[in-house]
Chains A and B, each alone.
Chain A
Amino acid sequence: MYSFDPTEEQQMLMDAVKKYAENDLRPAAHEAEETSELPKKLVNKGWELGLLQASIPESYGGFGERSAVTGALAIEEMAFGDLAGTLAVMTPSLFATPILLAGSEEQKKEYLPKIVAGEWSPFTAALIEYTFDFDPNELRTTATLQGDHYILNGEKAFVPFARGAESILVYANLDGQSQAFIVGKETEGLSIGEEREKLMSLNALQMYRVKLENVKVSVANRLGGASGCDFDMLLASMRIANAATAVGVANAAFEYSMNYAKEREAFGVKIAQKQAIAFMLAEMRTEIEAMRLLTWSAAWKLDQGREDAANEAYLASTGAADMAMMVTDRAVQILGGHGYIRDHPVEMWMRNGRGFAMFTGLAII
C-alpha cells in the first residue's frame, strides 16, 4: 500500500522536535551564527529529545529501534529550526549510528551504552576531504593492512567537534573501498587542527581539519571488524539525512518569506498578491513537497532493505540540494533588500542552501 501518514509515535516525536526547533533552536540561531558559539545547554536540550537514543535497542542502552523514515521526519523538523544546531545535536550519531548499523557486536557493546547514557558527548566522524571533486567512494585517505593493524594516512575536513572528541570514526580507502575505522583521541599520528574551519555558513558548528599520519588501528577497530562494513548503506543513510535537512531548511525559508510577503505592501497591495511573488511561493512549496516525498521514499526503501535504496538516496540528496538552493535564493529575493540584511534569517538559509551539495557526511539518520 501507499501511505503518507506518519504513525502516532512518529507524529509525537515530530511535534516534540518541532517545539524544540521553534522555541529553542530558531531564537538562538542568529546569535550563534554571529558569535560562532552554540550554548551547551541548547545542544543538551536537543540531545534530550532522544532521537539517537530512540534508534538504539534496549540491549545497548537505548529505548527503541532505528528507522530511517522516523529519522528523516525528525531531522527535517529540527533543521527547520536551525541547521548548525541540528548538526551539533546530531553529531554523536555520526559515530553511533554506523556502529549500530554495521559495527561488530564488541563495538556495539563497547560504545553504544556509553554514548547514549547521560549528556551529549563528543563522538564524531570524518568523511569529507578538502578537494573540489570530493567523492565519498574514492577517498584519498588510505588504509593499508600491515599484519594485524591498518595504517591510516590522509587528511579530513569539516569534522564536527573533532577537538575534544572521545573517538572519531574515520573513513578511508581500503583497496578501493571506503571503510571506516575507530580512532581514539589519544592515538599516535592523529592530529587535530588548532583552528576551527571557516565556511560560508555553519559558523556555530565547531569543525576541524583532522590529519592522520601513520595512524595504527587494530583490526578489531575497523567498523564491522575484519569483514568490514557495507559502506553503500551508510552513505545512503547520510544522503537521506542530508536530503531531509535540506528540506527542513528550505521549508523554513519558504514559510518565513511567505509570511513576509503577506505583510509587506508595495504599490497598494501585499506583495504576495502579485503573481511574480505568489508563483515563486507556489513553486517553492511544490518543489519542497517533491523532494520531501523522494526523501521519504528513499528512507522507506532503506528500512526495507531494498536494492535500489542507495540509488534513491543519491537522487534524493542531489535533488534536495538543488531544491534547497532554489528555494532559499527565492526567499531572499522575496524579502528584497531586507533579505540581504543579516537581521532576517533568510540570507543565512541561503548560505546553508548552497552547502547541501557537499554536506553529505555531516549528518546521518
Chain B
Amino acid sequence: MPIEFEAPKPITNAQFVLKTVAEEMMRPKSRYFDEHEHEIPWDYIEFMHNAMKAMGGSSLAPKENGNGNDTEKEKRPPIGYQLIAAQLEALSWGDVGMYHCLPGGGLGAAAVHSAGTAEQRAKFLSRFSGDKPTFAAMCITEAGAGSDNSAIRTRAVLDEKTNEWVINGEKIFVTGGDKSFTEYEKLGRGFIVVWASIDPSAGRAGMRAFVVEGGTPGVRVVKLEHKMGIRVSDTAAISLVDARVPFENIMGSPTVEKNMSGFKKAMATFDATRPLVAATGVGVARAALEFLKEKLAESGVQIRYGLPRQKLTSIERDVIDMEIQLRSAWLMVIKATWMADNKKPNALEASMSKVKSGDVTTRITQKVVEILGPLGYSREFLAEKWFRDAKITDIYEGTGQINRLVVARQILGYSGAELR
C-alpha cells in the first residue's frame, strides 16, 4: 500500500456514530459527573454496553483481524488498533472521564490480550460480551513505585499444597478499580490485573501479572481518589492481604528466567496502549479547540488561514498553531497504531505519539482557557473542565519524561542502564 491518508470506512462510520453518542449521552452529563465525584454513570454504562454488543465489539483488545463481521475482511489489512484509536478519540471528544467508564476491559483486557496465552484470552476475555456490562483494570502503580515500576513490593508466592498464588501488597491509582473489583448488581464479574514479584531478588525478571477475579477474598478497595479532572473515572487504591489466585492466572512463565522475556512481553503492552492513550488526549484537545473556534465565530472573529505570520493577530496565530499541533499529533497516533496493526515494531512511534499528545493536549487546553478569558475560566462552560481533564494525558501510561526516555533510548540505542 502506498502512502495514504484516507480514513477507512469502519473508522469514518465509527466516528459518525460516536459523535452522536458523545453529543447525546456524554456532553449533557459532563458537568453533572464532574460535580458529583464517585457517582457511577449507570445510564451511560448500560447504553454503551448494549450499543457495543449490537455493533459486535466488546473490549479494547482488537479482534483478530480488526474488521468485525465485514465479509471483505480477508482482502483488507487489519485496522484493529487504528479503529480503537479513532473510537477513543471520538469518545474523549465527548468526555474523557466517561470514556474511562466504557465497559469492556480497558487496560486490563489489553494486558491479557497481549501477554496472555490463547487459553487465558478465551477464559478471561469472553465475559465482556456477556449480558451485563463488565470491567477490568490494571494495577501496577504503588505508593513507592510509579514511573519506576521495578520498585513494586507486591509479592506473589506459590502455595504448592493448593497450587494457588498468594498475593500481598497495596496498589494505588487503579483506573476503574472499583467497577472492576467491587461486586455491583448491575455489573458482570470483572477482574484486576495485578503486578507482583515472584522473586524479589531477580528484580524486573521476577515481575509477573496475575488476573485477580472480582470479589476475591482478602482484596479490598480501600480508597477512591479525589482528582483534579476525569472525576467520573474511579481511581482506586486496592489492598491485597493473602489473596489467593489459581495457578493458571499468572501471565508468563511461573519460573524466573534470566532473559526477562516475560517482563519484556508485558511491557510490550505499552506499545499498543500508549498510542491509544495519546488518542484520548487528542480527543480532549479537539473538543477544546472546536469550542474555542465556535465561540470566536459567534463573536465575529475569523481565522484568516494562509496569511504570513506577520499579518496574523495573536489569536489567529494561536489557533493556527493549535491546529498544526493537533493535526500532527493525530497523524502520529494513526501511524503508531497502523504499525501495531501491521505487526511492525513500534516502540519508538508509540512513545513519540504519547510525548506529542501529552504536550499538545495540555498546551491546547491551557491556551483555550486563556484565550476565552472569563468564559474559559467559568464553570458555565466545559473549557475549564477539559483543561483539568487533559493534564492526566501527560502523566499516566508513562509520564512525558518516561516516554522521552523511551524515545531517547530507542534513537540512541541505549539500554536502561546507559540512560536512566
In the complex, the chain A residue whose C-beta lies closest to that of B317 is: A318
Q: Is the CB of B306 within 8 A of A4?
A: no
B7 sits at the interface (CB 8 A): yes
A13-35 CB contacts (< 8 Å) to partner B:
none
Q: Inside 8 A of A316's CB, which chain B residues have their CB?
A: 324
Q: Is the CB of B324 within 8 A of A315?
A: yes
Q: Inside 8 A of A287's CB, which chain B residues have their CB?
A: 356
Q: Is the CB of B310 within 8 A of A132?
A: yes
Q: Is the CB of B328 within 8 A of A293?
A: yes
A5 sits at the interface (CB 8 A): yes
- Rounded to whole angstroms, the CA-CA distance of A318 and B304 in the bound complex is 14
Picked from B5, B308, B407, the residue with its CB within 8 Å of the CB of A301 is B5
Q: Inside 8 A of A318's CB, which chain B residues have their CB?
A: 309, 320-321, 324
A286-343 CB contacts (< 8 Å) to partner B:
286-287, 289-291, 293-294, 296-297, 300-301, 304, 310-312, 314-316, 318-319, 322
Q: Inside 8 A of B334's CB, which chain A residues have their CB?
A: 2
Q: Inside 8 A of A258's CB, which chain B residues have their CB?
A: 411-412
Q: Inside 8 A of A273's CB, which chain B residues have their CB?
A: 414, 418-419
Q: Is the CB of B309 within 8 A of A357?
A: yes
**Contact A133/B419 with A1-B77, A3-B338 known, Cβ cut-off 8 Å:** no
Chain A: minimal CB distance from B66 (Å):
12
Q: Is the CB of A315 within 8 A of B323?
A: yes
Q: Is the CB of A294 within 8 A of B324?
A: yes
Q: Is the CB of A135 within 8 A of B412?
A: no
Q: Inside 8 A of A272's CB, which chain B residues have their CB?
A: 408, 412, 414, 419
In the complex, the chain A residue whose C-beta lies closest to that of B326 is: A315
In the complex, the chain B residue whose C-beta lies closest to that of A279 is: B404
- Rounded to whole angstroms, the CA-CA distance of A286 and B352 in the bound complex is 6
A264 sits at the interface (CB 8 A): no
Q: Is the CB of B3 within 8 A of A300?
A: yes
B4 sits at the interface (CB 8 A): yes
B311 sits at the interface (CB 8 A): yes
Range of interface residues on B (Cβ < 8 Å): 35 or more
A-B contact count (CB 8 A): 147
- Rounded to whole angstroms, the CA-CA distance of A7 and B328 in the bound complex is 22
Q: Inside 8 A of B3's CB, which chain A residues have their CB?
A: 3-7, 10, 69, 73, 296, 300
Chain A: minimal CB distance from B403 (Å):
8
Chain A: minimal CB distance from B365 (Å):
18
Q: Is the CB of B5 within 8 A of A2?
A: yes
**Contact A135/B4 with A282-B407, A293-B331 known, Cβ cut-off 8 Å:** no
A99 sits at the interface (CB 8 A): no
In the complex, the chain A residue whose C-beta lies closest to that of B354 is: A286
Picked from B1, B356, B404, the residue with its CB within 8 Å of the CB of A5 is B1
**Contact A286/B2 with A4-B338, A273-B418, A311-B305 known, Cβ cut-off 8 Å:** no
For the residues of A in contact with B, the DSSP-based class is helix
A281 sits at the interface (CB 8 A): yes
- Rounded to whole angstroms, the CA-CA distance of A304 and B4 in the bound complex is 10
Chain B: minimal CB distance from A330 (Å):
13
In the complex, the chain B residue whose C-beta lies closest to that of A357 is: B309
A185 sits at the interface (CB 8 A): no
- Rounded to whole angstroms, the CA-CA distance of A69 and B352 in the bound complex is 23
**Contact A137/B4 with A279-B401, A293-B328 known, Cβ cut-off 8 Å:** no
Q: Inside 8 A of B419's CB, which chain A residues have their CB?
A: 272-273, 275, 278
Q: Is the CB of A281 within 8 A of B4?
A: no
B79 sits at the interface (CB 8 A): yes
Picked from A134, A135, A261, A283, the residue with its CB within 8 Å of the CB of B355 is A283
Q: Inside 8 A of A300's CB, which chain B residues have their CB?
A: 3-5
In the complex, the chain A residue whose C-beta lies closest to that of B11 is: A2
Picked from A73, A135, A282, A312, the residue with its CB within 8 Å of the CB of B311 is A135
Chain A: minimal CB distance from B338 (Å):
5
A114 sits at the interface (CB 8 A): no
- Rounded to whole angstroms, the CA-CA distance of A312 and B5 in the bound complex is 13
A262 sits at the interface (CB 8 A): yes
- Rounded to whole angstroms, the CA-CA distance of A319 and B326 in the bound complex is 11
Chain B: minimal CB distance from A243 (Å):
11
In the complex, the chain B residue whose C-beta lies closest to that of A272 is: B412
Chain A: minimal CB distance from B292 (Å):
17
Q: Is the CB of B82 within 8 A of A2?
A: yes
- Rounded to whole angstroms, the CA-CA distance of A10 and B338 in the bound complex is 20
Minimum-distance CB pairs A-B, first 10 = A319-B324, A290-B328, A3-B1, A278-B408, A282-B407, A293-B331, A133-B310, A282-B408, A282-B404, A294-B328
Using a CB–CB cutoff of 8 Å, the interface residues on chain A facing chain B are 1-7, 10, 69, 73, 132-135, 137, 258, 261-262, 272-273, 275, 278-279, 281-283, 285-287, 289-291, 293-294, 296-297, 300-301, 304, 310-312, 314-316, 318-319, 322, 357
- Known contacts A132-B310, A275-B408, A319-B328; 7 additional CB pairs below 8 A are A5-B2, A282-B411, A283-B355, A290-B328, A294-B324, A311-B306, A315-B324
Using a CB–CB cutoff of 8 Å, the interface residues on chain B facing chain A are 1-8, 76-77, 79, 82, 305-311, 320-321, 323-325, 327-329, 331-332, 334-335, 338-339, 349, 352, 355-356, 401, 404-405, 407-408, 411-412, 414, 418-419
